[in-house]
Amino acid sequence: MTKYTRDTLIRDVLNSSEGAAAVFERYGLGCPMCLAADMETLGSVADMHDIVVDGLIADLNALEDDHSEVEA
């Protein structure tokens, strides 16, 4: 199970979780189409867009928790 942190690259999140794009969209972020997704971390994008990083990370980690429960 993947646990995302402030240092996780956005591209890694998008590549590892189908629902990540929807979470980014809920936060008003266009990360799936951003060229910086390969270099930006969750922490840096949250800081740039004045988003509480802990909430973003919690929502992304919840996707992974929900996915692992379905597989179990």
Residue 13, both tokens: 């999140």
22 pLDDT above the threshold of 50: yes
Q: Which residue has the higher pLDDT, 3 or 68?
A: 3
Whole-number average pLDDT of the chain? 89
pTM over 0.75? The answer is yes
41 phi, psi to nearest 5 deg: -100, 170
Compute, in degrees rounded to 10, the torsion defined by CA atoms 21, 48, 6, 8.
50
Residue 9 pairs in a beta bridge with: 41
Complete domains list, the chain, with CATH: 10-71 (1.10.3910)
